[in-house]
Amino acid sequence: MIEIDGSFGEGGGQILRTSLTLSAITKKPFRIYNIRARRQKPGLQRQHLTAVEAVKALTNAKVKGDFVGSTELLFEPYEIAERGNFTFDIGTAGSVTLVLQTILPLILNRQIEVKLIGGTDVPKSPSVDYIRLIFLPILQKIGINGDILVNKRGHYPEGGGEVILRNFRGQPNSFSITNFGKLVKIIGISHVSSLPSHIAERQRSSATSKLSQLGVEISIDLDIREKEISKGSGITLGAIGELSIIGADALGEKGKRAERVGEEAAENLLRELKSGAATDSHMGDMLMLYASLYNGEYSSSYLTQHAKTNAEVIKKFLNVDIELMGESPFKFRAKRSK
């Protein structure tokens, strides 16, 4: 039984999510205690509990402590299901993209389709458009392809977004994503749900104006949804390089002008590009698991406490040599020991 102190390092929900993913893959049971102990609301919240429920269902796991507010969890997985249709409803505006990250490695090359219901565009997590525009192309570079459909968008506080994961296939091998190459193009999606369409247009216009200094083609699509459960807006941007892709996003909120939302996303993207890394800071966290599973290396813009903590959790489950070099940018290299 692997023992994990959920309060170490960054002390957040990523410790739990990485543990769930790797426990399912390695079939190693674990006990995690002090879950999110230093947070304002300690223990499992609905978003974290949904990740537990999802991996439990996919692996027919034996679980103790799976309830809201629990600060200790015992998780003992069995075989990952080969097929099935699953639905997991967070029940709040908790992030579906964080649950998505937890289960995606488990559905690879299986006849499994998953519907996730909750928040698609919420603070402190990657937007669903970041997942589609940035994460999926990076996965393609390491040999994984799949579909992510956004049936409904969900914003804070109502949630109600609906995302489908299906057809994830591939034979990932060792990879190296350490150079961005020459900037080729800027892409993006500016969206609005149950609010006037001009908000999305203004977000796009201000982002385009800010990024025009780069001197490359800018193509930002509009996604206007008139009848969603929740109201909200946001914009996600992607900088396509010859060898990689870097992303950034920003969300609208009450009292925040649409122009400021577009500018904020553009400023975030420019800051990421300035680092000279091959991937952005979000991807620096997300790619770590795949590099550790498949002997990969990559460079990323900023080394976060989140990333450092994630590396320590990975080493608890995998016999892997990990190198973390530098701060901004930083380079991550992993090699599985036989």
Q: What percent of the chain has pLDDT over 90?
A: 86
Position 229 scores a pLDDT of 87
Identify the pLDDT of residue 39: 84
The answer to whether 178 and 191 have CB atoms below 8 angstroms apart is no
* Model confidence band, residue 225 (pLDDT cutoffs 50, 70, 90): very high
Is 258 a domain residue?
A: no
Q: Stretch 291-313: mean pLDDT, rounded?
A: 92
101 is in an annotated binding site: yes
In a domain, 87, yes or no: yes
Domain with 128 in it = 2-171+302-307
Res 290 pLDDT > 80: yes
Residue 91 is assigned to a structural domain of this protein: yes
Q: Which residues pair with 233 in a beta bridge?
A: 192
Which strands make up the sheet holding 217-225, listed edge to edge?
217-225, 183-193, 232-241, 245-251
Give pLDDT, residue 152. Answer: 95
Asked if 317 and 26 touch (Cβ cutoff 8 Å), the reply is yes
Residue 323 lies in a domain: no
Predicted confidence band of residue 13 (pLDDT cuts 50, 70, 90): confident
Establish whether 306 is a catalytic residue.
Answer: yes
The arithmetic mean of pLDDT across residues 131-157, rounded, is 96
Position 104 pLDDT exceeds 70? yes
Q: Is 123 strand, coil or helix? A: coil
Q: Positive or negative CA dihedral for 162, 166, 172, 177?
A: negative
197-200 contacts: CB < 8 A, separation 24 or more? Answer: 197/222, 197/224, 198/258, 199/233, 199/252, 199/258, 200/224, 200/233, 200/235, 200/258
pLDDT, greater one: 327 or 74: 74
Q: Is the pLDDT of residue 11 over 90?
A: no
Quick: pLDDT tens for 26-61: 999 999 999 988 888 888 999 999 999 999 999 999
In a domain, 80, yes or no: yes
User: pLDDT for 150-209, tens place per residue?
Assistant: 999 999 989 999 999 999 999 998 999 999 999 999 999 999 999 999 999 999 999 999
- Residue ranges of alpha helices (H) inside 275-323 are 281-294, 305-317
The encoded tokens of residue 214 equal 């780069």
> Strand pairing partners for 155?
121, 159
Instruction: Examine residue 95 and state whether it is found in any structural domain, yes or no.
Output: yes
34 domain residue, yes or no: yes
Contact 63, 20 (CB under 8 A): no
pLDDT at 65 over 80: yes
CATH number where 86 lies: 3.65.10.20
User: pLDDT tens across 231-286, in order?
Assistant: 999 999 999 999 999 999 999 999 999 999 999 999 999 999 999 999 999 999 99
Q: Which two tokens stand for residue 269?
A: 């993207």
Q: Of 48, 155, 191, 306, which one is the catalytic site residue?
A: 306
| Residue 128 lies inside a defined structural domain of this protein | yes
In the chain, the number of structural domains is 1
Q: For position 338, what pLDDT does the model report?
A: 66
pLDDT, residue 170, reads 96
- Interhelix angle 13-26/281-294, rounded to 10 degrees, is 20
